[in-house]
Amino acid sequence: MLTLIIFFAILLVLVLSHEFGHFLFAKLAGVKVEEFAFGFPPRIGSFWKGETRYSFNLVPLGGFVKIFGEEGEEASDPRSFSARPFGTKFAIIAAGVFFNFLLAYFLLSAGFMLGTPTALDDADPNQSAEIKITEIQRGSPAALAGLLPGDTLVSLNALEAKKISEVQAFINGHKGQTLKISVKRGGEVLAYEAQIRSEVKPGEGALGIAMARFGVEKLSFFPALAKGLKTAADLTALTARALARFFGELFTGRSSFETVSGPVGIVGIVGDFSRFGFLFLIQLTALLSVNLALINIIPFPGLDGGRAFFLILEKLKGSPFHWKFTRAVHAAGFIFLLLLMILVTYHDILKLNS
C-alpha cells in the first residue's frame, strides 16, 4: 500500500509539473484555459476558480490541460489558442516538456543540497560510504535467509562491511559455511543467518546478492545548482541515447516489451527505490521526469511533439489544417497510445508472474 501511495505521489508531481507548464504559458499569453485535470475521464470531482475548471478523474495515469481553441477551432476568438501567432502557440505546447526538465533540475539540485547518494568505488575514502544490496537472486541463500534489496550490509561474522572486494572475498572464502549477516533496514539493525553455497553454478552467486557502494555527496547552494544542471544534462543525454537505441531496435525487430516498463512495472521500481530511502526516490523522480519530457518530444499525434510538428507543417504550408482533421488525428494518436499502454501493462503483469 505504501508503495502505491508513493507511486501516485510521484505521478502527481510529474503530471502537475508538466500540465502546469502548459497552463502557465497559456495564461501568460492570455489564452483561455478551460480545464486543468489530473487523470483521465470519467470525472470524479472538480471545482471552479475563475474561468478554469480543476478536476480529478478516475484513471490516474496522466492528466491534461484543455485549452480553448487548441485544435484550430474558434480561430476568430481573441482568447483562442488558434488565434495566437506561431511562436506563442509553440511556446505553450513546449512548456510542458520544459517544466519536466525544470523539475528534474530542481530535484537533482535539491538532492545535492540535502546529500545525494553517489556510487563509489572501493578506493574512495568517503567516510559516509555504505554497501547496499541492490538485487537478490531468486532462490539464493540470501533470499532464503530473508535479506532484501535496499538492505545496508553492516557485517558478516566479524568482518565489518566497508568494501565490496572484501565482502566478496570473505563470502568466497566461506563457501559451504553458515554466515551471520547483520544488515540495517529502516534504521534498525537486523541479524540473519545464510548457508553459503559450496558449489556455484554459472550465473549464480555464492550468497546470491548484487552490491553497490554508496556515499553521500552534500554541496552548498550554488555548487549544488551547478552540479544539478550538469547531472540533469548528463541524465538527459543518457536517456535520449537509450530511447533512440530502443526505437532503433524496435524498427529493426530486435527489441521487445521485455525492456519496457508501464505503470505496473514502475510501481515495482518505486517499491525497490523506496527501500533505499527518500533521497533515492528524489533521483528516481528526476529520471522519470526526464523520461516523460523526452517521450513527449516525439513527433507522434497525441503527444506534445506531434502537436508541435503539426504547427510546423501549418507554418510551412501557410495555412492551418481544418480543426476537425487535427482533432481526429490527435484523437487517433491518443487512442493508439492508450492501447500501447494497456499492452505494456499486460507484459508488466506477465513479468511479475514469471
Question: Both ends of the chain: CA-CA distance in Å?
Answer: 22
CA nearest 300: which of 333, 272, 277? 333
Q: Which amino acid appears at position 92 of this protein?
A: I
List helix spans (H) across 161-262: 164-172, 221-251
Q: Which amino acid appears at position 121 of this protein?
A: D
The most distant pair of C-alpha atoms in the chain lies apart, rounded to whole Å, by 81
Give me the half-sphere count of Cα atoms (radius 13 Å) on the Cβ side of residue 199. 1
Q: Cell triple for residue 27?
A: 495564461
List helix spans (H) across 115-154: 141-145
- Alpha-carbon torsion, ordered 297, 298, 300, 304, to 10 deg: -10
Under 8 Å between Cβ of 304 and 70: no
Helix (H, G, I), strand (E, B) or coil at 262: coil
Q: Which amino acid appears at position 170 of this protein?
A: F
Neighbours of 309 (CB within 10 A): 16
The C-alpha atoms of residue 145 and residue 161 are separated, in whole angstroms, by 18
Give, as one character, the DSSP assignment of residue 298.
Answer: S
Q: Cell triple for residue 335?
A: 487512442
Is 19 among the catalytic positions? yes
Helix (H, G, I), strand (E, B) or coil at 322: coil
Active-site residue (options: 19, 70, 71, 130): 19
For 32-87, where are the E strands, in sequence order? 33-49, 52-67
- Active-site amino acid positions: 19
